[in-house]
């Protein structure tokens, strides 16, 4: 691993999932979206468990650009438990052989840099193409990594549960992403009823931690970058939107648990129920180091909190799988900031 910078996180993930991994002993798992923020952590935790528990498992990972990934994570080069397939989710060449498990996490959520049509095609047809592969490779369990965005914009709700499926805004910034995820979920559930494998869905909300992109549309990533550069933190809205963030190690615990133990045809919200306004998050990050930095709010017009709430109801995951957020926001922020400091010092990551 990266000079042991992640060893505490990875030991923690393993300790929470220890009883689950035997299912992968001498097996192969196929992973799409395995080289982004979330996917990198899936690989980190897989490799760590595989080594520690001597599982003799293999992960085959689809990536669009293997050189770019190895530049970010050179420690994966030469790892015998990992194989990489370079290609597009829409038409990659199916790897040969059987795969007992599949994690389908491929989708570019950076909707500001991809057309609505391309976004829809990537989500819907990419999922169908991966489901066809699942049938051909005799998989037993399929995890579809979806998004809390599939609920659309919610109005007048305190938290979003798995039944809040009636609010689609087709004129907003990312309707193709929301609707694409909704259709892909529906399609995968229809598809799997005719096959021999089970499927569980993880509707991921917001999360952060090491490897988080700091220069995309993720508010918390932008705030952390401002803080690391000792710049004023820029809040583009009015700061009243409500968000919650799950630490990435907890996210890994949730995803592996849902893959191995999730009920067939069930969708689980994945996230934290520890709610904060965007302004509270900005202030916490501004004050987490010395000297403190200023928080600048660009929109003085106050919005309705009830109209901008992205917080999951996680009671179903707790009831079925005994999952909950284990690491609170302040501790997660400290660990994230510490990692970026150390990684920057080693010149292994361009911030």
Number of folded domains that form the chain: 1
Tokens of 167: 């609010």
**Coil, helix or strand at residue 297:** strand
What does the pLDDT read at residue 223?
A: 97
Q: Please give the Cα distance from 179 to 124 (Å, whole number).
A: 10
Residue 295: inside a domain:
no
Instruction: Indicate if the pLDDT at residue 169 is higher than 80.
Output: no
Residue 335, in any domain of the structure: no
Q: In the predicted model, what is the mean pLDDT of the chain?
A: 90
Write the pLDDT tens digit of every residue in 288-322. 999 999 999 987 666 554 457 899 999 999 999 99
Specify burial of residue 284 (Cβ count, 10 A radius: 0-12, 13-18, 19+). Answer: middle
Q: Is 221 within the bounds of a domain?
A: no
CA angle 78, 80, 82 (to 5 degrees): 90
Q: Is 211 helix (H, G, I), strand (E, B) or coil?
A: coil
At 185 the pLDDT is 94
Pair of tokens at residue 92: 């990659």
Residues 6+ positions from 23 with CB-CB distance below 8 Å: 100, 101, 260
Which residue intervals of the chain are DSSP H helices?
7-17, 37-53, 66-72, 116-136, 175-192, 219-228, 248-261, 278-286, 315-321, 329-345
pLDDT attached to residue 113: 67
Lowest mean pLDDT among 108-117, 154-163, 184-193, 200-209: 108-117
Distance CA 313, CA 196 (A): 31
Give the CATH number, domain containing residue 93: 3.40.50.720
What pLDDT digit, counting tens, does each position of 98-122 carry? 999 999 999 766 655 678 888 999 9
Q: What is the reported pLDDT for 350?
A: 41
**pLDDT confidence tier of residue 275, bands split at 50, 70 and 90:** very high
What range does the domain containing 175 cover? 7-211+245-274+310-329
Residue 202: pLDDT over 60? yes
**What is the pLDDT, as a whole number, of residue 158?**
84
pLDDT at 351: 38
pTM of the model: 0.93
Looking at residue 2, its pLDDT comes to 44
| Residue 336 in domain | no
Q: Measuring CA to CA, which residue among 92, 120, 91, 94 is closest to residue 107?
A: 120
Query: Count of residues for the chain?
Result: 351
- The pLDDT score that the predictor gives to residue 174 is 57
Q: Which of 1-15, 167-181, 280-294, 312-326 has the lowest mean pLDDT?
A: 167-181
DSSP 91: T
Q: Are 195 and 134 in contact (CB under 8 A)?
A: yes
Does residue 258 lie in a domain region? yes
| Cβ contact 317:165 at 8 Å | no
Rg (CA), the chain: 20
Whether residue 178 lies inside any domain: the answer is yes
325 in a structural domain: yes
CA 213 centroid distance within chain: 12
Is 219 domain-assigned? no
């Amino acid at each position: 691993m990266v000079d042991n910078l992640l060893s505490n996180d990875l030991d923690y993930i393993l300790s929470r999932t220890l009883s689950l991994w035997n299912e992968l002993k001498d097996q192969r798992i196929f992973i799409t979206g395995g080289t982004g923020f979330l996917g990198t952590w899936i690989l980190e935790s897989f490799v760590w468990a595989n080594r520690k528990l001597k599982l003799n498992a293999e992960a085959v990972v689809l990536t669009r650009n293997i050189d770019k990934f190895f530049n970010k994570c050179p420690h994966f080069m030469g790892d015998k438990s990992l194989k990489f397939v370079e290609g597009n989710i829409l038409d990659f060449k199916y790897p040969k052989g059987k795969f007992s498990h599949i994690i389908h996490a491929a989708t570019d959520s950076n909707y500001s840099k991809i057309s609505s049509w391309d976004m829809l095609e990537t989500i819907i047809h990419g999922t169908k193409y991966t489901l066809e592969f699942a049938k051909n490779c005799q998989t037993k369990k399929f995890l579809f990594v979806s998004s809390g965005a599939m609920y659309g914009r919610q109005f007048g709700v305190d938290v979003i549960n798995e039944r809040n499926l009636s609010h689609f805004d087709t004129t907003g910034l990312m309707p193709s992403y929301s609707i694409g995820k909704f259709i892909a979920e529906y399609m995968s559930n229809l598809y799997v009823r005719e096959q021999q494998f089970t499927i569980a869905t993880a509707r991921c909300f917001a999360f952060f931690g090491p490897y988080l992109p700091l220069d995309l549309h993720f508010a918390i990533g932008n705030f952390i970058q401002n803080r690391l550069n000792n710049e004023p933190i820029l809040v583009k809205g009015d700061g009243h939107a409500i968000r919650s963030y799950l630490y990435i190690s907890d996210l890994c615990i949730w995803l592996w648990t849902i893959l191995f133990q999730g009920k067939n045809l069930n969708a689980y919200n994945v996230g934290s129920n520890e709610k904060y306004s965007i302004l509270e998050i900005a202030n916490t990050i501004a004050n987490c180091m010395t000297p403190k930095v200023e928080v600048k709010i660009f929109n003085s017009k106050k919005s309705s909190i009830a109209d901008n709430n992205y917080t999951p109801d996680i009671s179903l995951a707790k009831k079925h799988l005994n999952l909950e957020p284990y690491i609170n926001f302040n501790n997660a922020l400290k660990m994230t900031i510490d990692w970026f400091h150390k990684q920057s010092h080693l010149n292994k990551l361009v911030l």
